[in-house]
Amino acid sequence: MKSDSLTISVLFGNGVQHPEIQEAVESLPQLKLLDQTCDPERYCRQLDGNARPDVVLVEMDGQSHVPPWLERLPQEMPQTPILLCSHTLEPEFLIRIMQVGVREFLPMPLTPDDLEAAISRVWQTKKRQSSGDRRLGQVIVVTGHKGGAGATTVAVNLAVAMAELAPEPLALVDLGRPFPDVANFLDLEPSYTILDLCQNLNELDQSFIQRAMQPFGDNLFVLHGCPDFREQENIEIESLGKIFSVLRQLYKYTIVDLSHWLDEFFLRVTLEADLVLMLTGLNVPDLRNLKRLWPALLEDQRERRKIKLVINRFNRNSGLVLRDLEQVVQQPVFATLCSDYPLMVEALNRGAPLGVSGPRSKLWRDMKALAEQVKLAMPAEMEQAEVSAVAEPKRKFWLF
C-alpha cells in the first residue's frame, strides 16, 4: 500500500477548514493532496474543468442532513470513492449518506489510522477491479427486518447444509448482539472470538484468522461472536473490512449471522455482503412493516438484486398466501422454510443442527433447498453486480 499513490480532494461541507483533517491527509505518504475547498457547491459545478481525484474526502461536521451538492457528487463522479467524516452518528443520517452513494463513514476527530484504513480498502478495491479477479469468496448475510426472525437458526443450518454441498471450506461468522448464539446452537466452546481479531489487527493475516476459526465437521469453520455484551463496543467497525477481506481470500462462502440492530455496525456488514437473505414471517404485522420499509429498499436496481426475501416459519394455514407478500414487495419470494417448532426446540436443546436432530424432516429439506438456491444465485449475482457497477454507478443503501 505504501508504495502506491492516490490523489485526494478534500471538501469542507460547513465552509470552515479543519487543520487536523489536512494534517491527517498529509501524514500519509501514499496520499497526494490534489486540492481542498470550503466551497463544495462550486467544486461540484466546476467538475468538468477540474482534474478528477482518486478519492474525495468530505467533512460534514455538525450537520444532520445531506445537502443537494452531496447528493449530486456520487452521480457526477461514479468511479470515485467518497469518504465522509462527521461527529454525527444518528442512524437516519448514516442511512441517507449511504443511500446517495457515500462508500465510507469516518468518525471525527479524524485520525491518520482511520484514514489509512479507509484508503487501504479503497486501494484493495481498485486492485481487484483492475485485475478482474473474480476468485475472491462471497459473503452471504442472514438477517431479518425485525428481531426474533430466526436469523441464527437459518444462518447456522444454511452453513451446515452448504458445507455438505461444497467440497471447499466455508466460514460461519457470528455477529449476533447482544448475545451471540452460534456456539450454543452447535454445542461449541469458543477459544477465540472476533474480538481477538480486532485487538490484533497488525498481525491479521490468513494464518492468524485460521487459528481463530473453530472447525465444525469436515469443512465448516466458525468465527465466534464476543460473548460479553459489555466488550462488544470494542469491536472496531473499521476492522470489519480487513477481517472480511481476509475471509474472502480463505473461503469461497462466508455466511454471517447478523442481528437486527439499525446502527453503523449493521450498515457496514450489510454493505460488505454480496447477498442478503432477509427473513420475514407471513403475517399481517410483518406485511405492514415491509410495506413501510420496501420503497426505501428498492430505490436502487443493484440493491434490489442483492436482497432476497425468505419466509421463515411458513405455514400454509396462516390465512395468507405468498401472493400477498409478493404484491407488497413486487418481487418473488426467494425461498420458504416451513414451521416446525418442536424440532427447532429439540435441535437447540441438543446443540445440534437440523441435519442431526431431524435429517428426514421437511424443515431440513427446505434448508438444503435454500443452500442449493444460494449456490446457484451467487455467480449470477456477482456477474450482475459487475455489469451494474458500470451501467448503474449510483450506489444506495437499504433501510432494514
358: left (phi over 0), alpha (psi -120 to 50) or beta: beta
- Average pLDDT rounded to a whole number, residues 202-227: 88
* Residue keyed to cell 456488514: 269
Query: Which grid cell sits at 225?
Result: 461472536
- Average pLDDT rounded to a whole number, residues 267-272: 80
pLDDT of 383 above 60: no
pLDDT of 371 above 60: yes
Which domains, ranges and CATH numbers included, belong to the chain? 6-131 (3.40.50.2300), 138-390 (3.40.50.300)
Q: Rounded to the nearest 5 degrees, what angle is found at the Cα of 191, between the Cα atoms of 185 and 192?
A: 95
- Average pLDDT rounded to a whole number, residues 273-293: 81
Sign (positive/negative) of CA torsion 115, 118, 124, 129? negative
Q: What share of the chain is helix, strand, coil (3-state, %, to 5)?
A: 45, 20, 35
Burial of 19 (0-12, 13-18, 19+ CB in 10 A): exposed
148-173 residue pLDDT tens: 788 999 999 999 999 998 778 999 99
Burial of 112 (0-12, 13-18, 19+ CB in 10 A): middle
pLDDT of 130 above 60: no
Sign (positive/negative) of CA torsion 285, 289, 294, 295? positive
> Residue 247: its pLDDT value, please?
92
Nearest to 261 by CA among 179, 374, 335, 153: 179
Query: Which grid cell sits at 76?
Result: 457526477
Query: Which of the pair, 287 or 69, is modelled with greater confidence?
Result: 69
> Residue 128: its pLDDT value, please?
57
Cβ pair 33, 8 in contact under 8 A:
yes
Query: Which grid cell sits at 207?
Result: 494464518
Spell out where 157-267 has E strands: 170-175, 214-216, 220-223, 253-258
Spell out where the chain has E strands: 6-12, 31-37, 55-59, 82-86, 104-107, 138-144, 170-175, 214-216, 220-223, 253-258, 275-280, 307-314, 335-338
Q: What is the chain's Cα-based Rg?
A: 22
Burial of 285 (0-12, 13-18, 19+ CB in 10 A): exposed
pLDDT of 327 above 50: yes
pLDDT of 384 above 50: no
Secondary structure (DSSP) of 260-285: ---SHHHHHHHHH-SEEEEEE-SSHH
Q: Peptide bond preceding 295: is omega within 30 degrees of 0, i.e. cis?
A: no
Query: Which grid cell sits at 281?
Result: 414471517
> Residue 213: its pLDDT value, please?
93
The length of the chain is 400
Q: Per-residue confidence at 176, pLDDT binned at 50, 70, 90? A: confident
Work out the number of other CB atoms within 10 angstroms of the CB of residue 360.
7
Nearest to 392 by CA among 304, 278, 296: 304
> Residue 398: its pLDDT value, please?
37
Burial of 52 (0-12, 13-18, 19+ CB in 10 A): middle
Considering the chain, what is the average pLDDT of its residues?
81
351's CB contacts (< 8 A; 6+ apart) are 184, 185, 186, 187, 188
pLDDT of 391 above 50: no
> Residue 234: its pLDDT value, please?
74
CA distance 177 to 192: 17
> Residue 300: its pLDDT value, please?
47
Cβ pair 25, 31 in contact under 8 A:
yes
> Residue 380: its pLDDT value, please?
44
DSSP code, position 193: B
Query: Which grid cell sits at 106?
Result: 469516518
pLDDT of 2 above 60: no
> Residue 393: its pLDDT value, please?
35
Cβ pair 235, 194 in contact under 8 A:
yes
DSSP H helices, 53-111, are: 68-76, 91-100
> Residue 293: its pLDDT value, please?
67
pLDDT of 385 above 60: no
Percent of the residues in the chain that have a pLDDT greater than 70, as a whole number:
84
